[in-house]
Structure 1
Amino acid sequence: MKVLIVDDEKLARDRLREMVGEIGEHTVVGEAMNGSEAIAQTERLNPDVLLMDIRMPGMDGLEAAMHLMGLDTPPGVIFTTAYDQHALDAFEVNAVDYLLKPIRKDRLAKALSKAGKLTLQQLQDLNQAQESPVVRTHLSVHLRGNIRLVPVQDVLYFLADNKYVTVRTATEEHLIEDSLVNLEREFGESFLRIHRNALVATPHISGIEKDTSGTWHVTLKGLDKRLAVSRRHAAAVRRWARR
């Protein structure tokens, strides 16, 4: 199998590379230092399995695994971690196995063997087994088979339309297949429901105003567009504005 090693510590990456070489049968095709690099390297190198740390600066391993689930041919993920309490979370995001540091060569060999026996269908079944409790820092946008990562902090609003949701930043619009209910559940502390089809990022709200017909609108920083507030949500939006 082709193996991608993901860890922010060089000594850990070197040790894993050495052990994979000693085990034989598999080839280390690349390395990455965090979750974002892991996604980019996965798209470039198409590894069969990732040996990925959980705790890393920037995007951690759990979130990276969530984004990788969306690929047509997702790799297997073997988490490497010094934190045993993360084991349950690991298995909820397509983990073939998890290895507790310091990693033993025989245990690594067993995990790689297990990954090699999984078919694509079994990996996809693992992906769909259950929702992950991880709160994402980025959203996955799929463009021509590739993953584009959009930082959640850059999102101005989510706007639902049938089965798709528009993700709007200051400069771009993207479509994702998700529901506002799920997005509100995950990011509700930073977003305000203003309409049954709209969530607005509170850090980007510049104010609220009423037009001549009595309809309230939300105005956004750096965007020449107003979003209508439904009657049902007007009171909650005004309460938020008075805080």
Structure 2
Amino acid sequence: MRIAVIDDERPARGELIWQLRELLGDVDFAEGDSGAAALGLAGEGKYDLFFLDINLGDISGTDLVHAIRAMQPEAGIIFVTAYSEYAVTAYELGVDDYVLKPYEKERIRKVLSRCMPSGAAGRGEDRGEKSHPKKIAINSDGKTVFENIEDLVFIETCRRGCLIHTREHEYYDGKGIGDFEKRLPDMPFFRCHKSYLINLEKVREVFPWGNNSFGLKMEGYEKTVIPVGREKTKTLKSLLGW
């Protein structure tokens, strides 16, 4: 397996490669410190994954995507950035995923589980197909229920666990909201508040609410107001095109 890590900051490259080695073991890494270097690597041999910093000195990572795709159509491309608002850019460009700086091992593990080639981790032949399951297990009332992920509307913290709201049912699960955030795909799920995880495809309304903040309502739960954290507003606006 070959992985290219492109970042104009050497310490950042080294940290990411170290964490990838911890998770993957013996892997062949190539490093590049510029957009030109990325194009050179893409043209010299086959790679399975490109970890591509967005803010390079010469060519933006967003401008490199199509060129790398043309030269390496089977390779996965993962944006590396310090800014969460680039999540929507990654989604629009069809990039496989993104990793935020500073790096978190669990986040990298999650990205790898989705984006590894099929021969290594069951990645589908269709580039749009992600490796996350279509159902999620919910432990409620002494039994395990399997709900379609697309039917989840929102999840909120409740006591020491969570209330999971679906199109037709509500469940209490003793696991924390962070656990569900890790198990669900970043798109279309978004942590709009420390206590709420929402399905962006189920948002019905967004409106001013409270002191210089916003609230939203979800399909089927129009009587419930979900707060939006102030630090989440900009990203939510980008993701919803609002």
TM-score, structure 2 normalization: 0.47
Which structure has the greater CA radius of gyration?
A: 1
